[in-house]
Chain A
């Protein structure tokens, strides 16, 4: 059984937002919509301060609260764990946006573009009207994954079959793979290093893992 997860190594992430920009470009999200972003957080007080960069987005939870509240069944979970949204079914009620503990969902009601109301050539080509008035979020670049797998490629190893944020990460801080495969990079990382998940206490089973501290 395949279960896709993402791993972010916080010892490597430097908050550069390359993943943010790459995601926005690949997925043609409108201004203000960031399916992937990196938070810049401080803990402590001067002069004993730590500054931490935390990549966040949809956690593709094992028990996604967004799916439970979805009245139209637009939000579903695939067998491989990826949580998807069927834009044709979504009614844009926003319940899922409110229910997500990770602030990972967005809804855009009107077309918005980088420089005002008119799209540039690239935006015009990539514009998808189905995304207006519905919930959107990170889908682990599921189309790339499926297309890559169909070609016999391995997600997490072959860039063509991997999420764009992982491909783009200049610090090699993001990893993707099958947590049920003991041969996968993510399985090895998680078995060897300290890790945690955000809001684990909520019991949603988020599948974005953070490596932190040593070993």
Chain B
């Protein structure tokens, strides 16, 4: 791949997609062939909701490019022993030798079959979180598609440490892999642990600042005063993992203390399952012949199928109707004249005990505060208001509750996500202007069209691609090691599902597979790219030890790190400013990334590749050629695997000849032409040279498509809330399948499948884990939590000197944040070296004393604990990841855990 000529000074467009809050469109200033600075791309200010500006991390790209610690030639391990204490003895080798070694292994795998005796793929691949590496790995996905089965379930945190319950339940309820406030229209936000100013990227920061300026009130509910809390109107310090209690009390106030008429009753009647009648066994009462759920028609005074035209559904009450009640596996539980309560009536009864006074004792938030916030939420919802969007009149409900990591994953995550979404539905603030929006889909199809993914499913709800739980189709033989298809119906079975299963199970089961699953094996070949699970996952010590037992590891390596320390081959690929790739931009994507434009952006080499670094596309092509897969590889590119863009459309055909190994530029030129054609409906065909000059191209994206509500109205569908009959049924079926195979180790998780989730003592689960690890709860009186660092999150920035310097200005980076008075009680002063310990592990760090943290909570920012990554290994920054255990008991039904742990704290020595 050639860089532009080394003229005096150039400004070249590109993008940064180091984290899911991107992409940011930028320009790189290049002086005589050397990249010297990153600048905003103000040419994009009209189409980019962040006004073309770029995140702090992007300013580190120049330093990242010229980092002297980069791997600049292929390397081979010479020490066969692997382990933290072993020097890998990496020696430079030629690309020819490196690719031959990799291809030899791959060809041996192909010759003996792609699956092992347990049925698991012999090849595994792990990439960093949120799909961001895909914006840097060129056509490698096409190589993997050509290869066949690959286990992508060895996680590095994704699928487990993400906002996992939100991903799965969010997609189920409102096509919301990620949930955002409609910030541009919102007036009131309750953020429960959501650190949007650190995780929302440039767009999030800009939008929230604009919203505050026009009067939006944001209330921050979290154990420590984050950067988001700092710019919120109010901080409410809540006890960790009790968020569901707070949200339940909020709903209690809306249902039992506010006038019923202040809720959006029309929305509840027409767009939710609130009027569906529920029978004695907990399943919907159904019409005996059509088996459609019944509602009570107040107009005629009789039961009717939910979709009967011209009826007026009763929201409250109990009614008798001729009906059938059908349970799991199609079992007819009852038939005849049956008594049913409306789902809303059941919700009323369910939420009755959860008063603010009850919640206050659990979550340590005063009852009057909960009451006040519920009242503010209701008032701001402005039930009855409407707004015109793109010529269509929609409800305007400018209120949102947003959830953050650790709140919306792990035990309690389901309850929080359910409560948040129910609260929105009570005031009609779901998928309408001002309310909460799903901004992307990753499990439903098509991935690029959230609105198109709305299709009619059973019982008047949207369809959802559950993994089957019926006797005929459920399988105890997982396709990959983390068993997502067997254990997690909500994870579905698409390309993203592998990384959305219980990805810690792949690691855990290597040392003992639970009963009923085929023995979990080590993959014969493991590819690693833009991921460092030895740092970013939990129980990092054990994980590193397991990683050392992988027989053949190929790491696309930027610098040495803790995971590629165990590699056999290091391959240096062109990094951010050296590689070539075209990606889709705009439309609606992660978090706050919903735009009024959509199109494509190019990442291009702004300088010659350093050392022997090769473009990822060239590496992928060469691996395809050497493994005899070039035709399948080219066909995968032609059908859009690399860029999410088919090279042949209605009005154009830029397909690659399948039998030939094309150069990187040929491939991306074809993709650029297809992108030009797609955006112009075949009228234009600009290739790579045009895109290198202009960087991006878009067309308008209708704002109306931010909202799912119109699609549901058009199709006469309802949100599957508040009563979760389908989840309840699926849970019972899954239980029966597992028990039929003698598998009882998932029983605690099966209890999560509830029609109306009850509060459970979630904090106690973590206290019990202390006892299970041999400790006494009183010795571990603190909660240790973590928080997002905008400067470090993703992108291998722990080794960046510039990010270290910038981040050091923000309190907490580099130490253990402790409440000042709690520290004083333990004789700990600012800067003292302290030990933070669990019954089994301990770590050390410098005390950072702050007032903005609960006395029972400690905080470690970001993910550190490096011991191999140059520069980062000298920072001596403690990490929560080294302390959090991997445990089935702490895994919820979606296969997720949460980033917190009970710890003890003591002073080791003073600052001096």
Complex Cα gap A164–B235 (Å):
33
> What A residues does B231 contact at CB under 8 A?
11-14, 53
Tell me which of A42, A116, A122, A173 contacts B62 (CB under 8 A). Answer: A122
> What A residues does B810 contact at CB under 8 A?
15, 17, 40
Complex Cα gap A176–B60 (Å):
25
| Complex interface residues of chain A between 11 and 35 (CB less than 8 A to chain B) | 11-18, 20-22, 24-26, 31-32, 34
> What B residues does A34 contact at CB under 8 A?
805, 809
Complex Cα gap A146–B343 (Å):
69
> In this assembly, does A110 line the interface, its C-beta being within 8 Å of a C-beta of chain B?
no
Of A44-52, A68-76, A147-155, the one touching chain B:
A44-52
> What B residues does A78 contact at CB under 8 A?
none
A14 adjacent to B205 (CB under 8 Å):
yes
17 more A-B residue pairs beyond the given contacts A14-B230, A25-B59, A46-B852, with a C-beta to C-beta distance below 8 A: A11-B231, A15-B227, A16-B55, A20-B809, A21-B803, A32-B805, A45-B851, A46-B819, A46-B854, A122-B62, A159-B42, A167-B53, A168-B54, A170-B50, A170-B202, A170-B205, A172-B210
| Complex interface residues of chain B between 213 and 244 (CB less than 8 A to chain A) | 213, 225, 227-231, 235, 237
> In this assembly, does A125 line the interface, its C-beta being within 8 Å of a C-beta of chain B?
yes
A17 adjacent to B851 (CB under 8 Å):
no
A122 adjacent to B206 (CB under 8 Å):
no
> What A residues does B743 contact at CB under 8 A?
none
> What A residues does B791 contact at CB under 8 A?
16-17
Interface flags, A123-153, vs B, CB<8A=1, else 0: 1011000000000000000000000000000
> In this assembly, does B277 line the interface, its C-beta being within 8 Å of a C-beta of chain A?
no
Complex Cα gap A22–B59 (Å):
6
Q: How far is the CB of A151 from chain B (nearest CB, A)?
A: 15
Chain A residue nearest to B232 (CB atoms) is: A51
Q: How far is the CB of A81 from chain B (nearest CB, A)?
A: 26
Chain A residue nearest to B53 (CB atoms) is: A170
B interface residues, Cβ below 8 angstroms from A: 31-32, 34-40, 42, 50-51, 53-56, 59-60, 62-63, 65-69, 197-198, 202, 205-206, 208-210, 212-213, 225, 227-231, 235, 237, 790-791, 801-803, 805-807, 809-811, 819-821, 850-855, 871
Tell me which of A46, A49, A114, A173 contacts B209 (CB under 8 A). Answer: A173
A40 adjacent to B811 (CB under 8 Å):
yes
B819 adjacent to A21 (CB under 8 Å):
no
A26 adjacent to B806 (CB under 8 Å):
no
Complex Cα gap A118–B66 (Å):
12
A12 adjacent to B40 (CB under 8 Å):
no
> What B residues does A44 contact at CB under 8 A?
851
Tell me which of B66, B806, B871 contacts A17 (CB under 8 A). Answer: B806
Tell me which of B60, B209, B852 contacts A51 (CB under 8 A). Answer: B852
Chain B residue nearest to A11 (CB atoms) is: B212
Q: How far is the CB of B738 from chain A (nearest CB, A)?
A: 45
> In this assembly, does A121 line the interface, its C-beta being within 8 Å of a C-beta of chain B?
yes
Complex Cα gap A40–B34 (Å):
34
- Nearest 7 A-B pairs (CB), nearest first? A120-B66, A51-B230, A21-B59, A114-B801, A17-B806, A12-B209, A18-B56
A121 adjacent to B225 (CB under 8 Å):
no
Complex Cα gap A170–B791 (Å):
13
Known: A31-B805, A45-B851, A171-B209. A16 touches B230 (CB 8 A): no
Complex Cα gap A51–B234 (Å):
11
Q: How far is the CB of B845 from chain A (nearest CB, A)?
A: 18
Complex Cα gap A173–B807 (Å):
19
A125 adjacent to B853 (CB under 8 Å):
no
Complex Cα gap A52–B209 (Å):
15
A39 adjacent to B809 (CB under 8 Å):
yes
A115 adjacent to B230 (CB under 8 Å):
no
B807 adjacent to A115 (CB under 8 Å):
no
Tell me which of B31, B227, B851 contacts A49 (CB under 8 A). Answer: B851
A121 adjacent to B34 (CB under 8 Å):
yes
Known: A22-B59, A115-B871, A122-B35. A46 touches B811 (CB 8 A): no
A21 adjacent to B197 (CB under 8 Å):
no
> What A residues does B206 contact at CB under 8 A?
170-172
Interface flags, A171-190, vs B, CB<8A=1, else 0: 11100000000000000000
Q: How far is the CB of B26 from chain A (nearest CB, A)?
A: 11
Known: A14-B197, A14-B230. A120 touches B67 (CB 8 A): yes
A46 adjacent to B790 (CB under 8 Å):
no
Complex Cα gap A14–B821 (Å):
26
B851 adjacent to A42 (CB under 8 Å):
yes
Known: A16-B790, A51-B852. A115 touches B67 (CB 8 A): yes
Chain A residue nearest to B236 (CB atoms) is: A47
A17 adjacent to B42 (CB under 8 Å):
no
Tell me which of A12, A16, A45, A49 contacts B225 (CB under 8 A). Answer: A49
A115 adjacent to B69 (CB under 8 Å):
yes
Complex Cα gap A86–B405 (Å):
51
B852 adjacent to A122 (CB under 8 Å):
no
B40 adjacent to A159 (CB under 8 Å):
yes
> What B residues does A121 contact at CB under 8 A?
34, 66
> What B residues does A123 contact at CB under 8 A?
66
Q: List 9 A-B contacts (CB under 8 A).
A: A12-B213, A16-B55, A21-B59, A40-B811, A42-B850, A46-B854, A159-B42, A170-B54, A170-B55
> What A residues does B65 contact at CB under 8 A?
122
> In this assembly, does A38 line the interface, its C-beta being within 8 Å of a C-beta of chain B?
yes
> In this assembly, does A207 line the interface, its C-beta being within 8 Å of a C-beta of chain B?
no
> In this assembly, does A169 line the interface, its C-beta being within 8 Å of a C-beta of chain B?
yes
Q: How far is the CB of A62 from chain B (nearest CB, A)?
A: 27
Complex Cα gap A139–B59 (Å):
20
Complex Cα gap A162–B284 (Å):
64
Interface centre among A11, A21, A125 (most CB of B within 10 A): A21
Q: How far is the CB of A199 from chain B (nearest CB, A)?
A: 20
A18 adjacent to B63 (CB under 8 Å):
no
> What B residues does A11 contact at CB under 8 A?
209, 212-213, 231
Q: How far is the CB of B36 from chain A (nearest CB, A)?
A: 5
A52 adjacent to B230 (CB under 8 Å):
yes
> What B residues does A49 contact at CB under 8 A?
225, 235, 851-852
> What A residues does B51 contact at CB under 8 A?
172
Complex Cα gap A16–B805 (Å):
12
Complex Cα gap A38–B230 (Å):
14
> What B residues does A105 contact at CB under 8 A?
none
> What B residues does A26 contact at CB under 8 A?
37
> What A residues does B210 contact at CB under 8 A?
172
A125 adjacent to B31 (CB under 8 Å):
yes
